């Protein structure tokens, strides 16, 4: 009897635990299924970029399945109902899938599991998308979920490294689903009601493998060995570029860690080791936020620490629009937002600067920014995005120290984009502005502005807030909120 393998955010064949187990259990008679779910597609968070990327990954997955003699069965509807239909059409003995940890997914999967059990069918879910599952690591003394990243990561490594030794291969061959089993064509983006105005990366398992291999190719100028420093320079391609692949699972997280662990066994300089260690810690952040939200689901709707929900945001819609469009007058912020709007991606350092600016300088509710990023990013991930925004807002975790965390957009710009290369790439109005003015172009003498054809207020916006004043305003708003909610 065949077995259904239900693909969700794991659009690959290599080191896919549910697929591997399904193939073993059925001697290759796997029905590979992806269900387009309107509850996700139209939840107001999912945007054109992530949807486009997902559709392209489905095309690639279907292609790769065909190489193994199979094909992807695509359905569109409510997942439980679609699976019920598929089970009856295929007489499958059960459904296999990799676990997901957000409330919606848990509820959905629990209902599926319950129905399968009632029917006497197999329901097998697998630990796959994270290195350490949310229930897999608790504090020593009280067996409670961790709140502090530092404490979490200390004990994460050993468990994670163990997972990196547990890879499974892609099936070498699959039995084709019955030829009369219906499958929808993979839809075009427009058919789902999306209009993509951004460029998106090329995707698919083969490309994900290529990106991973390149990042770990020590002969390359910007490999993981330089990551610790290169990742802080938005003008350079010093990051792994794997966020979109980790979002939708075109690469396995275990394979990612395995590469790093293997590299650490080679002779490395302290700086090179630092690069690899830093990258591993980024993988730990992913697991950390997954377990933080799993155990504190209210943070999907508000601050982890509810005292921060008392902040009186200004929420000025004109300023929000200026931020969205990259018209704040702060070049590093505008470059970041324009990179996002054009490329459906923003360098992580700039995400932090831009988030801090929206929250602290404009005093706009971090959830507005969170939602905008979700809709624009091709790697949009509720967990990582929510965690990142809460971190920027200082509302996440007990080490929140808003007094320390008001980024100075000018100082950040000078530090991380000293020659303005990144700024000039995305803010062409400033292309000819000399280095000494590129971070704060409003300080240019008027004669120079006229000479360069870059008059502030005409060719490029004047800053919409004064950072010094905005900083004091934010400190007051935070102080007031924390005092009144005692």
Partner DNA sequence: CGCAGGTTGAC
Partner DNA sequence: TCAACCTGC
Q: Select 164 or 406, whichever has its Cβ closest to DNA.
A: 406
- Shortest distance in whole angstroms from residue 238 CB to DNA: 12
- Shortest distance in whole angstroms from residue 107 CB to DNA: 27
- The yes or no reply on residue 20 touching DNA (CB under 7 A) is no
Q: Is 285 among the catalytic positions?
A: yes
Residues 6+ apart with CB under 8 A from 101: 129, 130, 133, 134, 290, 291, 293, 294, 383
- The yes or no reply on residue 59 touching DNA (CB under 7 A) is no
Please identify which residue in 3, 31, 147, 260 interacts with DNA, judged by CB under 7 A.
147
- The yes or no reply on residue 273 touching DNA (CB under 7 A) is no
- Could you tell me which stretch among 34-42, 120-128, 277-285, 420-428 binds DNA (CB under 7 A)? 277-285
Residues 6+ apart with CB under 8 A from 167: 15, 252, 254, 255, 258
Q: Is 323 among the catalytic positions?
A: no
Angle between helices 79-90 and 103-118 (to 10 degrees): 30
Strand order in the sheet with 3-7: 73-76, 30-36, 3-7, 94-98, 122-126
- Shortest distance in whole angstroms from residue 387 CB to DNA: 8
Residue 269 has, within 13 A of its CA and on its CB side, a CA count of 7
Q: Select 6 or 391, whichever has its Cβ closest to DNA.
A: 391
- Could you tell me which stretch among 148-156, 159-167, 236-244, 320-328 binds DNA (CB under 7 A)? 148-156
- Shortest distance in whole angstroms from residue 13 CB to DNA: 30
Q: Is 345 among the catalytic positions?
A: no
Sign of CA pseudo-dihedral 203, 207, 212, 217: negative
- The yes or no reply on residue 127 touching DNA (CB under 7 A) is no
31: tokens are 């029905």
- Shortest distance in whole angstroms from residue 295 CB to DNA: 10
- The yes or no reply on residue 152 touching DNA (CB under 7 A) is yes
Residues 6+ apart with CB under 8 A from 17: 98, 126, 127, 128, 168
Catalytic residue among 59, 115, 296, 313: 313
Q: CA 192, 62, 259 angle in degrees (round to 5)?
A: 110
Catalytic residue among 89, 232, 236, 282: 282
**Among residue numbers 402 through 461, which ones bind DNA (CB under 7 A)?**
403-408, 411-412, 415
List of E strands, 103-240: 122-126
**Among residue numbers 352 through 391, which ones bind DNA (CB under 7 A)?**
352, 388, 391
Tell me which DSSP letter residue 358 carries.
I
Q: Is 156 among the catalytic positions?
A: no
- The yes or no reply on residue 56 touching DNA (CB under 7 A) is no
Q: How far apart are CA 57 and CA 74, in angstroms?
A: 13
Q: Select 11 or 374, whichever has its Cβ closest to DNA.
A: 374
- The yes or no reply on residue 201 touching DNA (CB under 7 A) is no
Size of residue set near DNA by CB under 7 A: 37
Q: How far apart are CA 401 and CA 234, in angstroms?
A: 25
Catalytic residue among 285, 296, 341, 442: 285
- Could you tell me which stretch among 18-26, 147-155, 202-210, 242-250 binds DNA (CB under 7 A)? 147-155
Nearest to 115 by CA among 72, 78, 73: 78
Residue 405 in 3-state DSSP? coil
Catalytic residue among 6, 97, 323, 366: 366
Tell me which DSSP letter residue 8 carries.
S
107: tokens are 């509820």
- Could you tell me which stretch among 42-50, 100-108, 204-212, 464-472 binds DNA (CB under 7 A)? 464-472
Residue 3 in 3-state DSSP? strand
- The yes or no reply on residue 295 touching DNA (CB under 7 A) is no
Q: Which residues bind DNA (CB under 7 A)?
A: 139-142, 144, 146-152, 155, 281-282, 285, 348-349, 352, 388, 391, 397-399, 401, 403-408, 411-412, 415, 467-468, 471
- Residues with catalytic function: 282, 285, 313, 348, 366, 389
């Amino acid at each position: 009897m065949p077995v259904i393998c239900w693909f969700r955010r794991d659009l690959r064949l290599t080191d896919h635990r549910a697929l591997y187990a399904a193939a073993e259990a059925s001697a290759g008679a796997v029905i590979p299924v992806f269900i387009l779910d309107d509850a996700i597609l139209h939840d107001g968070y999912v945007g054109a970029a992530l949807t486009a990327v997902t559709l392209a990954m489905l095309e690639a997955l279907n292609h790769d399945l065909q190489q193994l003699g199979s094909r992807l069965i695509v359905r569109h509807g409510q997942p439980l109902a679609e699976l019920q239909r598929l089970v009856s059409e295929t007489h499958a003995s059960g459904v296999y899938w990799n676990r997901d940890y957000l409330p919606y997914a848990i509820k959905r999967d629990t209902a599926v599991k319950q129905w399968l059990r009632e029917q006497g069918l197999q329901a097998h879910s697998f630990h796959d998308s994270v290195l350490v599952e949310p229930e897999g690591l608790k504090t020593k003394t009280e067996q409670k979920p961790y709140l502090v990243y530092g404490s979490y990561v200390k004990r994460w490594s050993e468990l994670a490294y163990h997972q990196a030794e547990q890879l499974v291969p892609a099936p070498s061959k699959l039995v084709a689903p019955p030829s009369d089993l219906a499958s929808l064509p993979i839809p075009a983006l427009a058919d789902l009601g999306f209009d993509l105005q951004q460029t998106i990366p090329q995707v698919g398992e083969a490309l994900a493998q290529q990106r991973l291999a390149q990042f770990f190719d020590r002969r390359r100028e910007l490999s993981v060995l330089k990551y610790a420093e290169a990742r802080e320079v938005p003008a350079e391609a010093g990051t792994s570029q794997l966020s979109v692949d980790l979002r939708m699972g075109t690469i396995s997280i275990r394979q990612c860690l395995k590469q790093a662990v293997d590299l650490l066994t080679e002779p490395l300089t302290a700086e090179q080791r630092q690069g690899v260690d830093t990258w591993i810690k980024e993988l730990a952040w992913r697991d950390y936020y997954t377990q933080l939200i799993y155990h504190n689901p209210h943070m999907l709707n508000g601050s982890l620490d509810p005292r921060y929900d008392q902040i009186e945001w200004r929420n000025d819609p004109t300023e929000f629009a200026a931020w969205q469009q990259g018209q704040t007058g702060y070049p590093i912020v505008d470059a970041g937002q324009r990179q996002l709007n054009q490329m459906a991606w923003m360098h992580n350092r700039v995400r932090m600067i831009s988030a801090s600016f929206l929250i602290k300088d404009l005093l706009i509710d971090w959830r507005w920014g969170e939602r905008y990023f979700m809709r624009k990013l091709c790697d949009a991930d509720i967990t990582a995005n929510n965690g990142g925004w809460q971190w920027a807002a200082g509302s996440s975790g007990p080490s929140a120290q808003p007094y320390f965390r008001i980024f100075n957009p000018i100082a950040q710009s000078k530090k991380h984009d000293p020659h303005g290369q990144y700024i000039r790439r995305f803010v062409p109005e400033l292309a000819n502005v000399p280095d000494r003015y590129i971070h704060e172009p409003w300080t240019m003498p008027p004669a120079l502005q006229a000479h360069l054809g870059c008059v502030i207020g005409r060719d490029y916006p004047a800053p919409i807030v004064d950072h010094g004043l905005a900083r004091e305003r934010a400190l007051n708003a935070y102080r007031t909120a924390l005092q009144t909610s005692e």
